[in-house]
Structure formats: structure tokens, C-alpha cells
Amino acid sequence: MAKYLRASRFAVLAALVGIWIAGCASGVDSRTEAETLVTRARWTVEHFQTRQDDANVLFRQGLKTAHAIAVFPTVTKGAFFVGAAGGQGVILARRPDGSWSDPAFARLTGGSFGLQFGGQSAQVVLLIRSPQALDALLTHPGAIGGEVQMTLGNWGSSLGAATTTNIGADITAFAQAQGVFFGMSLGGAVIDRLDSLNAAYYGSQTVSARSILKEGKYVNPGSEPLVAALAVR
């Protein structure tokens, strides 16, 4: 009987240790996912910053006065449901002194894109042009109002190269897939917070997008290259 009890206790202990290890592994995976997303967001910003064409000029001009920026390195058609687009990304807000906050994680779902070209994925950057728009995203994430189509035109050519999309008066969207602008509807698209990635990246279960973007309570040194990439050149 004693031998059986010892074996049972060992089995229970082993199970508890296994659960603890699995939980740690899950945390590591989420942290790695968040770190990778920050790196890919930096690559996207650098790509948009360094192109030598009219669209690049418009992007840089808009970035100078943007109150916040949302960067989605890969928005994929059919990522969450058929006929729609989806992807994970980051949002950074401009501080009163002109510097940028650390990133908060977000997910873009809904809308559609790339249908004219049969494209499967794209880089999407949203310049948030008013503090009210940022506050709305932080307070009650939801659908972007109004259906707006991206104008077709090649990046790097004179035809349509300077065209971007205005979503109301609050958000300007830039997107690129395989070197070209593409048809895109952001009407009904939803931006949601990714609290799990925020918690993993900053090592706190109480972290919120507002505490990162507006209050500056959380920082991660790994964000510095992304923040540096946002400096207008």
C-alpha cells in the first residue's frame, strides 16, 4: 500500500510538473511570437521608409504628423474566414515630446484585398492621424467605418504611385503586395488588442494597450530598433 501511495504521489507530482513546464513553454512561445512580430514590423517600416518614389514621400510626410502608427507585416487573404483578410501587427503612439512609445500588439481582421491580382498577402501600414481615433481604438476596438477602395498603381512608377487611401479623416492606409498597390476594402475591418502578446512581451499580466501607448508604463529594449526605424529620414 505504501509503495502504491508513493507511486501515486509521484504520478501526481510528475503531472503537476508537466503542467508547469507546458505553461512555461507556452509563455516562451508567446514571447518569441511577439518578439518576431516586432522584428518583422521593423522590416516593414524600413521598407516603406527607404523606397525612392512618390508613395514613399507621402508615407514620410504622413508619418511626420501621425499620432500613431499600426504596422501589419503580413495581412493574409482568408486568414480568418473566406473572402476576408487578417493579420497580426503592432501599434505605436507618438508621445508629447515627439518620440514613439513601445509597441502594443493588435490584430486586423475583416475587409478584403488583392482580388484583382489574386494576391495572398500584403504589408499594411495605417497612419492614425488624430488622438480621437487612437482613443477610440483603445477604448472600444471595433470596425473601421466606411468602405474605401485602394487605387491601383505601381509603386515606383508615375502612374498612380502617389495614391493612398483616406479612411474618414482619421486614418491613412498604405499597402503593398508584390510591388504593386492593390484593390483593398477596409470597410468593416476590425482592429482588436492582443492582450496575450502584450503580457508575454512585457512580462506582466496587468499590462494594457493604454498603459503602453498612452501612459508609457511598459518598455522592452527589444523595441528600440523598431522605434528607431520610425524616425523620418
Angle between the 54-65 and 2-50 helix axes, to the nearest 10 degrees?
Answer: 110
Q: Where are the beta strands (DSSP E) in 7-82?
A: 68-77
- Give the pLDDT score at 188: 64
pLDDT in tens, 103-116: 999 998 876 554 44
What DSSP assignment string belongs to 149-167?
BPPP-BTTSSSSTT--EEE
Measured CA to CA in angstroms, residue 72 lies from 59, 136, 138, 174 at distances of: 15, 19, 17, 11
User: What's the mean pLDDT when you consider all of the chain?
Assistant: 72
Q: Which has more confidence, 163 or 127?
A: 127
Mean pLDDT of 119-124: 72
- Give the pLDDT score at 169: 57
- Give the pLDDT score at 204: 92
Strands 85-93 and 165-167: unpaired
pLDDT in tens, 62-76: 899 999 999 999 887
* Statement: residue 93 has pLDDT above 80: yes
Helix (H) or strand (E) holding 197: helix 195-202
| Share above pLDDT 70 across residues of the chain, in percent, rounded to a whole number | 59
| Gap between the Cα atoms of 16 and 163, Å rounded | 57
pLDDT in tens, 205-225: 999 999 999 999 999 999 999
Q: What's the predicted TM-score (pTM) here?
A: 0.75
* Statement: residue 178 has pLDDT above 50: yes
pLDDT in tens, 189-208: 778 899 999 999 999 999 99
Residue-level length of the chain: 233
